[in-house]
């Protein structure tokens, strides 16, 4: 059975990936507009894309809590996007404040702190290596090189939706691995 206007909510609740692809295709404009409105011009497109991905991740994780029809879904999705963007705005504001303090402290990192930092980087690289090769490329391009999803899609011969879906699934897998290793 293929996802369409009549069954996407039901399929999303059953964790069918084609339902996620459907809502990304159908509602990306709504989500992006909402996120951009909340975050404003201060944020770079990479940060906005990250927030949008987090919105769809929240929808995926909480789909079973949704009750209603297609119009209710649109309102529910809008609220998730709005509050996710507000949370992101708060986090980024705190990050900006902290980054100034961190920059002044980085030069004074102890050897122990530098070792811990390097260990965290190695651990992240190990997690990324558990992904499929195409996903490894996407993660490296997006998070280490700062390449935008549109450009990644163009370079790898994929659609932007496919890139965003792979980022979503990869982040989910990495989060699961991180909780298992704690």
pLDDT, tens only, 22-39: 999 999 999 999 988 888
Q: Where in the chain is the domain with CATH 1.10.1740.10?
A: 1-95
| 0.75 exceeded by pTM | no
CATH classification number, 1-95, choose in 1.10.1740.10, 2.60.120.10, 3.30.200.20, 3.40.630.30: 1.10.1740.10
Residue 26 near residue 12, CB atoms below 8 Å: no
Q: How many Å apart are CA 33 and CA 11, to the nearest integer?
A: 25
Confidence check: pLDDT of 17 > 70: yes
| CATH classification (class only), 97-181 | mainly alpha
Q: In angstroms, how far is the first alpha carbon of the chain from the final one?
A: 38
User: What does each C-alpha distance from 166 to 14, 61, 121, 126, 138 come to in angstroms?
Assistant: 19, 16, 21, 18, 8
Q: Give the confidence band of 114 by pLDDT, cuts at 50, 70, 90.
A: low
Q: Where in the chain is the domain with CATH 1.10.10.10?
A: 97-181
């Amino acid at each position: 059975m293929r996802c369409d206007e009549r069954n996407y909510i039901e399929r999303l609740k059953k964790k069918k990936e084609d339902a996620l692809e459907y809502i990304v295709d159908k509602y990306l404009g709504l989500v992006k507009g909402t996120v951009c409105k909340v975050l404003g011009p201060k944020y770079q497109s990479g940060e906005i894309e990250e927030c949008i991905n987090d919105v769809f991740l929240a929808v995926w994780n909480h789909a079973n809590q949704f009750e209603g029809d297609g119009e209710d879904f649109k309102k529910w999705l809008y609220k998730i996007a709005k509050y996710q963007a507000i949370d992101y705005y708060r986090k980024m504001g705190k990050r900006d404040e902290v980054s100034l303090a961190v920059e002044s402290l980085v030069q004074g990192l102890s050897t122990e702190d530098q070792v811990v930092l390097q260990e965290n980087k190695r651990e992240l690289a190990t997690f990324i290596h558990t992904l499929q090769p195409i996903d490894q490329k996407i993660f490296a391009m997006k998070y280490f090189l700062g390449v935008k999803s549109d450009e990644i899609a163009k370079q790898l011969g994929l659609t932007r939706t496919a890139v965003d879906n792979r980022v979503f699934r990869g982040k989910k897998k990495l989060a699961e691995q991180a909780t298992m290793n704690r």
